[in-house]
Structure 1
Amino acid sequence: MMLIYGSWRLITAAVFTFCFLLDFGATQFAPNYTFMHEATEAPRVSFFDYIVIGGGTAGIPIATTLSANYSVLLLERGGSPYDDANVTNVMNFGRYFFDTSPDSPSVEFIVEGVVNALPRVLGGGTSTNAGFYSRGEEQFNTEAKLTDADLIEDSYQWVENSIVYDLPLDNWQSALKAGLLEAGVTPDNGNTFDHLIGTKEGGSIFDQNGTRHTAADLLQHANPDGLSLFLHANVHKVLFRHKVSSKPKAYGVVFEDRLGKKHVAYLKGRKQDEIILSAGALGSPQLLMLSGIGPKDQLDALNIRVVLEQPFVGQDMADNPLNSLFIPSPIGVSPSIIQVVGITPFGSYIEEAGGFNFIFANLSDYQGFTYEKGGFIFEKVNGPLSKGELKIVTRNPSDLPSLTFNYFSEPEDLAKCVSGLDTILKAVDSEAFSNYKFANMTDQDILDLNMKLPYNLIPHGNTSISLEQHCKDTVRTIWHYHGGCLIGKVVDDDYKVIGVDSLRVIDGSILLNSPGTNPQASLLMLGRYMGVTILGQRLAGEKPYADW
């Protein structure tokens, strides 16, 4: 695969997402979801008990669960993951970043010189991520105000029984696992979904045949008579009734289909009917503001009627900084995505992806080495403490908001990155990993080589002068966006939007920290947990949740 230095699209598609660029055939066979349709087929006016905005990691399990007893409308602005072999097959992983068509499952944008990507496809991030599955730490349950331990466990298992797989390690992965243990990332926790300090193997939403199983597969559990799912449905705003003597009450949504026709879906009007925003950390705060809930100055600037002045919408936005080292290998490395993770006690998570046949522009014979084989070892900072903000710039929901993440603005985040890179180098220098490293290649050689790779659009030198500067110069994203609708500031402990009725936000935007090494397991669980909880609040005393 040719990497052209300075091409930001190839940064994203190649180094940025460790793309294999191999075409492995047909799309996954689409399930017969009789409730799934294009938004062009939606009625102009419709009525439901629940309206869920966003068919992603949290939205799908929420809608699926609620459909057991009530009519649910699920609106997704993207298309089906089953129609795209680049999404469904592991050996095409990352090819969608080359797709600039209106139907692309991923939309690219740049924040502070870092190339980011936003999923626009049914399944959300589970349709575009690297597939690694690992539960969040106990701290997440506390932060997310999840109090029912049995329901947490049942919700995780509901997900895992449907879309999570255990895969064997290849030689590269086994060598890195042993190298991390030599480097002090102990103990060896074996194969587990639990978040434990030490080194472990996790699960994957790719199966043994390399087929991706997204959150959309959970729709197999939906009640087909209770769910209506529309694709390419672009929600413009939530509608509110506003009486002087009471709080604003959400009662419907306006959405647009691919032909530009508007549709209106209303709640049926019963007291417990609700609209649930699950549009993600970027989409949910944006849609709140477009609907009139947010900082007054932003709403006034765009002539949006203020339903509720809420200065905290869009605040505390975060993206976990990621740094990686490409390790050239003297021997072949089998293609692999993330299955091994080192969870350090200082707050850095180390992962891997191997199997590359690169021809690096201007680097094919750097320092006497030929870089045609090897793999990446990644370091993600937990938290993070560094925060930014989201602002809307137009009234068009298709336009991306303005974002800042302020990568490494907090010294503690930078210190974690430095410790993480140092740990990676120790693992690479270990006896266990020695077959996959050139014997006479120094740590400085590795760092200097990686300074020359096009990780981002930040101008910097070609030599690594310190690990601190290396972190800043080579920072990129792991797509774990969160914040913007925080618990206690924008939503209450039940995720109901403070100051209005009949509206909740349930997705990563409510979280101050990204859960675990990779958040998809926690957000899938959260969707199921809250679906069951909402049913329980409405069906109290009828029958236990295990029977729903």
Structure 2
Amino acid sequence: MHEATDSKFHPQLYDYIVVGGGTAGCPLAATLSQKFRVLLLERGGSPLIKAGVTPDNGASYDFQVGTQTGGTIFDDQGTRRPASNLLVYANPRNLDILLHAQVELILFRGTPGSPQLLLLSGVGPANQLTAMGIKVVYNLPGVGKQVSDNPAALVNIVSPSPVESALAQVVGITAPFGNFIEAACGVAVTGVPGARAGNIIEKVAGPLSSGTLVLQSKHVRDNPLVTFNYFQHPRDLQACIAGVNTIEEVILANSFRPFVYDNQTLPSGGTVGAPNRRNPAFAATINTTIANYCREHLTTIWHYHGGCLVNRLWTRTIEFWELKDSEWWMALRSNTRREQFRKLRF
């Protein structure tokens, strides 16, 4: 671990340069370092069981079925477990870390930024680019395709008992769909002295529904038009139904009763004091009611992804990018021969 001002570090010494030592950068750098030379640039300095979501996995960075404590929170001793802890899994011989690094330009911008930037640069479906008046640099039909988001549904709860203000600290990962069940709490309720509100949310993991991203203009500051097609694939709706069923079981668990009023409504109908899911007369319609709830209360926690997927998009691999005279030069590698440089102006 070194300061970024150390002049002995040069980009050409590394197979990969990872920008940002956060929850994505640290595990990526650690994984790549097993086989490649990696430079990690960091701007900063050194840094549900009662409902049947079992087993209790404790604190873990591995996503697995059961209940677990997140990796980036404070433990019982007040010690924070940051994402940088994941670097203990890195190969130290292949990883260098520069602190207080400043980067002038970051090319890759996640979803939707990365596919948008490629399209604006002339890399994407030729027919769309031509229609927008953008010069086609490289016809790559996969850009802007297979854009997905994890559909989520939540239940708002008013608690009669005091609760601390907290974001998600514990996650339950359910079988068989792998839904994530999380909660946040501590918001004051207007007009109800002493009461606090929170919510329990389920997120569909690995959605099979996907959509598209297209440009609305040639200006980088104009947001692209994104269509996620939530619940287009029936499995995603089934997963949401399963997740909301789990939330209801959490709310109805005896250990949760101090934190919920009897007149709290439930997605499947009825209240905590008289839940439809405990009434045999509603057994046949519970999942249909919850399916409608998933559609009507669809929300997101902004984990969208796709639009330029590795192994589905690139038939040739980008070998490196280099800034020359205010232009980006891209070298493409195809099998064993290097192709001509392609020039992208920003």
TM over 0.5: yes
Number of positions where the alignment pairs a residue of Structure 1 with one of Structure 2: 280
Return closer, same or farther for 1:435/1:281 CA change in 2, 3 Å cut-off.
Answer: same
Structure 1 unmatched runs, 5+: 1-31, 36-47, 51-58, 65-122, 164-179, 236-276, 448-463, 493-497, 505-548
Return closer, same or farther for 1:314/1:149 CA change in 2, 3 Å cut-off.
Answer: same
Give the match for residue 334 of structure 2. Answer: none
Among candidates 163, 167, 171, match of residue 337 of structure 1: 167
Give the match for residue 242 of structure 2. Answer: 419
Please show how residues 240-389 of structure 1 align to structure 2 within 5 Å. 277-347=107-177, 348-359=179-190, 372-389=195-212
Q: What is the deviation of 1:487? A: 1.8
Q: Is the 8 A contact 1:408 1:414 kept in 2?
A: yes
- Whole-angstrom CA distance in 2 between matches of 1:428 and 1:303: 54
**Counterpart of 2:149 in 1: which secondary structure?**
strand
- Whole-angstrom CA distance in 2 between matches of 1:190 and 1:213: 16
Q: What is the deviation of 1:228? A: 4.8
Structure 2 unmatched runs, 5+: 88-95, 273-286, 323-346
Q: What is the deviation of 1:150? A: 4.9
1:191 paired with 2:9, answer: no
Return closer, same or farther for 1:286/1:322 CA change in 2, 3 Å cut-off.
Answer: same
Q: Is the 8 A contact 1:374 1:436 kept in 2?
A: no
TM-score, normalised by the number of residues in structure 1: 0.44
Q: What is the deviation of 1:299? A: 0.9
Q: Is the 8 A contact 2:73 2:82 kept in 1?
A: yes
- Whole-angstrom CA distance in 2 between matches of 1:148 and 1:49: 16
**Counterpart of 1:424 in 2: which secondary structure?**
helix
1:491 paired with 2:314, answer: yes
Q: What is the deviation of 1:466? A: 1.0
Q: What is the deviation of 1:214? A: 8.9
Q: Which has more radius of gyration?
A: 2
- Whole-angstrom CA distance in 2 between matches of 1:337 and 1:434: 20
- Whole-angstrom CA distance in 1 between matches of 2:263 and 2:126: 60
- Residues 58-105 of structure 1: CA distance to partner in whole angstroms, max 9, x if unpaired? x9x7147xxxxxxxxxxxxxxxxxxxxxxxxxxxxxxxxxxxxxxxxx
1:407 paired with 2:227, answer: no
Q: What is the deviation of 1:502? A: 2.9
Q: What is the deviation of 1:438? A: 1.5
- Give, as a single letter, the amino acid of the residue that structure 2 aligns with 1:283: G
Q: What is the deviation of 1:205? A: 5.9
**Counterpart of 1:287 in 2: which secondary structure?**
helix
**Counterpart of 1:222 in 2: which secondary structure?**
strand
Q: Which has the higher contact order (CA 8 A, sep 6+)?
A: 1
Among candidates 72, 80, 86, match of residue 204 of structure 1: 72
Question: Which structure features the higher share of helix residues?
Answer: 1
- Whole-angstrom CA distance in 2 between matches of 1:471 and 1:314: 26
Q: Is the 8 A contact 2:184 2:198 kept in 1?
A: yes
Q: What is the deviation of 1:486? A: 1.2
Please show how residues 440-479 of structure 1 align to structure 2 within 5 Å. 440-441=263-264, 443=266, 444-445=269-270, 466-479=289-302
Q: Is the 8 A contact 2:147 2:212 kept in 1?
A: yes
User: What is the RMSD of the two structures over their aligned residues, measured on CA atoms?
Assistant: 4.2
Q: What is the deviation of 1:491? A: 2.9
TM-score, normalised by the number of residues in structure 2: 0.68
Q: Is the 8 A contact 1:205 1:214 kept in 2?
A: no
- Whole-angstrom CA distance in 1 between matches of 2:152 and 2:82: 25
Give the match for residue 320 of structure 2. Answer: 502
Q: Is the 8 A contact 2:148 2:209 kept in 1?
A: yes
- Whole-angstrom CA distance in 2 between matches of 1:375 and 1:334: 10
Q: What is the deviation of 1:439? A: 3.5
- Give, as a single letter, the amino acid of the residue that structure 2 aligns with 1:353: A
